[in-house]
Every structure is written in structure tokens, then in C-alpha cells.
């Protein structure tokens, strides 16, 4: 379902950046589940470039039951541009949920003006993918922008609307990065480091995918995948202490 989205991102990354493989901890790069009737596989890729310190994407293929493409691009700590966040999910072909956003590091108005307002034009072109759905797991005012695409949709719309929207968001993201001035002030860099780390902590604690990973691959693997790969700058202590 989302294979063309993964291929597009991959081609774009290799075309535009000097990529180096970024290691994925042992055992987390891929997994296959034979639990239940349906075979489920998960595979992840991770790269870095001088401007992008972590580029990760994951594909879950459980045939008809589930297809997921998830990605986060983390800029290097001397850039304050948003994360590019991608979460496309299809369950049984009937329930399709797509989320695509320039995820802001900060919510102040100067930041919004500089990095989020430029997304408005693309966002407004694809208004049927901006459905203002209520968030149950996350707080829409933290790490999400007002120009996110967030929709419950169908396979036709995925091909005909989401794919062009996705290409435009990615192109705009590359342009934003190309225009961004590297930050030299150490205090400002510290503030970015903290904000990126807080994003990992926030995301790890709320990630609605934990149940999905656990059901396919077990809780232990799911915990490791979240805290050692997806959101490796989050501290798992809070979770461990609940056990
Ligand atoms: C929702 N994301 C979800 C759900 C799952 C995942 C299972 C719940 C779907 C449902 O309502 O049944 C899946 N999340 C994943 C997977 C990974 C993950 C597979 O992190 C990792 C491989 N989520 C992101 C990113 C964004 C994001 C980068 O990981 C930003 C674009 C958004 N996912 C997002 C939002 C929801 C969601 C906004 C709805 C959550 C809510 O209602 O609060």
C-alpha cells in the first residue's frame, strides 16, 4: 500500500544527500512474526548526513491486515527546523489513517512564522486530507503544527491525493533545510538538543504503536524497539518503574 511512498523517500534521500548508514541496534533492524494467522514483518532503515543527524523509516507488512509506513527525520542539532514526521497506516484496507507534518520544535510565534506558515499553501491545496480529527494519544498543540495532514481516508485518495501531497511536503522540507542557517550559538544549540530529546521522551511515552509491536513481536522487543531505536534519546526509566 505505501511502498511507493517509501521508494520515493529513499530515492529523494540518495539523490539529495551524502548519506551514511546509521547503525540500528542488534535485532531491531527487522523481525518476522509467525504469531496468529497472518505473517507480519517489520523492517527499518536509518541514515545520517551532515545536516540530518537521524533519518529513520520503518515498514510493517502484515499483508491485508496491516500496512504501515512510519518515518521521522531529525535535523542536526545546529538546525532548528522542524522534524519531518510521517505515519501512514492501513488496517484491513478499510481503516486508513494518514499523518504528515512539519513537527515544530517550539511553539512561539516567531518559530511558527518562520517554519510553519510556509507550509500553509501546500496544506490548503490538500484540504481533504486535513480533517481536524481529534487526537486521543497525543496533544495536538505539542510537536504538531496547524498545517499537518491528518485524515481517515481510502485507497484511491492515498494514490491520487496523498501521494502528490507527500511529494510536495518533502520538496518543501528539502527547501527549508537548504535555506536554513546553521546555528553557532552554543546556548541555542543546547535548547535544540533539549527540545529534540523532549520530543523523543514525549513520543516514546505516548506511542500508540507499542501495542501493535507487542502483539506481533512481544513486549520485550517492543520496548527495545521504542527506546533503543525509534526514540533512542528517551529514557525508559519511567516505564521500567511501572513494572
Ligand atoms: C496514530 N500511529 C498511530 C496509531 C498507530 C501508529 C498504531 C494508532 C492508530 C489508531 O488510531 O488505531 C503507529 N507509530 C506507529 C508506528 C510507529 C509509530 C508503526 O511511531 C513507528 C514505527 N506518529 C508518528 C509520527 C507522527 C505520528 C512521526 O510516529 C507525525 C506525523 C502521528 N500517529 C500520529 C497521530 C496519530 C497516530 C497524530 C493519531 C493519534 C491520536 O489520536 O492521538
Specify the residue with its C-alpha closest to ligand 1, atom 21. Answer: 70
Residue 213 lies in a domain: no
Residue 53 lies in a domain: yes
C-alpha cell at 164: 502528490
Residue 10 lies in a domain: yes
Q: What is the Å distance from ligand 1's center to 175 Cα?
A: 26
The total number of structural domains in the chain stands at 1
Q: How confident is the model at residue 238 (pLDDT cuts 50, 70, 90)?
A: low
Instruction: Report the CATH number that the domain containing residue 149 is assigned in CATH.
Output: 3.40.1500.20
For residues 52 and 75, is the Cβ–Cβ distance under 8 A?
A: yes
> Which residues does residue 47 pair with via DSSP β-bridges, in sequence order?
21, 55
**31 CB near ligand 1 (under 6 Å):** no
Q: How far is CA 219 from CA 166, 206, 216, 223, in A?
A: 32, 15, 9, 6
Q: Give the model's pLDDT for residue 38.
A: 75
Question: What percent helix, strand, coil does the chain show, rounded to 5?
Answer: 45, 25, 30
Q: What is the pLDDT of residues 28-75, one digit of tens each?
A: 999 999 876 778 999 999 999 999 999 999 999 999 899 999 999 999
Q: What is the Å distance from ligand 1's center to 51 Cα?
A: 26
Residue 198 lies in a domain: no
Q: What is the Å distance from ligand 1's center to 63 Cα?
A: 19
Specify the residue with its C-alpha closest to ligand 1, atom 7. Answer: 209
Count helices and strands in the chain by DSSP H and E runs = 9, 8
Q: What is the pLDDT of residues 141-173, one digit of tens each?
A: 899 999 999 999 999 999 999 999 999 999 999
Residue 91 lies in a domain: yes
pTM score? 0.95
* Structural domain harbouring 50: 3-183
Q: Give the model's pLDDT for residue 144.
A: 96
For residues 201 and 235, is the Cβ–Cβ distance under 8 A?
A: yes
Q: Which atom of ligand 1 is nearest to the CA of 133?
A: 42
**223 CB near ligand 1 (under 6 Å):** no
Q: What is the Å distance from ligand 1's center to 208 Cα?
A: 6
Residue 194 lies in a domain: no
Q: Which atom of ligand 1 is nearest to the CA of 100?
A: 31
Residue 159 lies in a domain: yes
Q: What is the Å distance from ligand 1's center to 209 Cα?
A: 7
**85 CB near ligand 1 (under 6 Å):** yes
Amino acid at each position: 500500500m505505501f511502498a511507493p511512498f517509501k521508494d520515493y523517500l529513499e530515492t529523494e534521500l540518495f539523490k539529495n544527500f551524502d548519506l551514511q548508514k546509521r547503525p540500528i541496534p542488534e535485532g531491531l533492524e527487522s523481525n518476522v512474526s509467525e504469531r496468529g494467522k497472518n505473517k507480519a514483518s517489520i523492517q527499518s532503515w536509518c541514515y545520517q548526513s551532515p545536516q540530518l543527524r537521524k533519518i529513520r523509516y520503518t515498514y510493517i507488512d502484515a499483508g491485508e491486515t496491516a500496512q504501515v509506513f512510519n518515518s521521522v527525520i531529525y535535523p542536526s542539532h545546529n538546525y532548528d527546523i522542524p522534524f519531518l514526521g510521517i505515519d501512514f497506516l492501513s488496517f484491513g484496507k478499510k481503516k486508513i489513517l494518514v499523518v504528515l507534518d512539519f513537527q515544530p520544535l517550539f511553539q512561539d510565534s516567531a518559530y511558527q512564522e518562520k517554519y510553519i506558515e510556509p507550509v500553509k499553501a501546500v496544506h490548503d491545496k490538500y484540504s481533504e486530507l486535513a480533517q481536524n480529527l481529534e487526537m486521543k494519544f497525543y496533544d495536538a498543540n505539542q510537536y504538531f503544527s496547524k498545517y499537518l495532514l491528518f485524515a481517515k481516508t481510502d485507497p484511491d485518495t492515498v494514490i491520487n491525493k496523498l501521494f502528490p501531497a507527500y511529494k510536495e511536503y518533502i520538496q518543501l522540507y528539502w527547501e527549508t533545510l537548504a535555506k536554513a542557517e546553521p546555528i553557532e550559538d552554543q546556548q541555542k544549540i543546547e535548547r535544540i538538543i533539549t527540545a529534540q530529546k523532549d520530543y523523543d521522551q514525549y513520543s516514546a511515552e505516548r506511542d500508540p504503536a507499542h501495542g501493535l509491536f507487542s502483539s506481533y513481536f512481544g513486549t520485550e522487543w517492543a520496548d527495545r524497539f521504542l527506546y533503543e531505536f525509534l526514540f533512542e534519546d528517551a529514557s525508559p526509566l519511567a516505564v521500567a518503574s511501572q513494572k
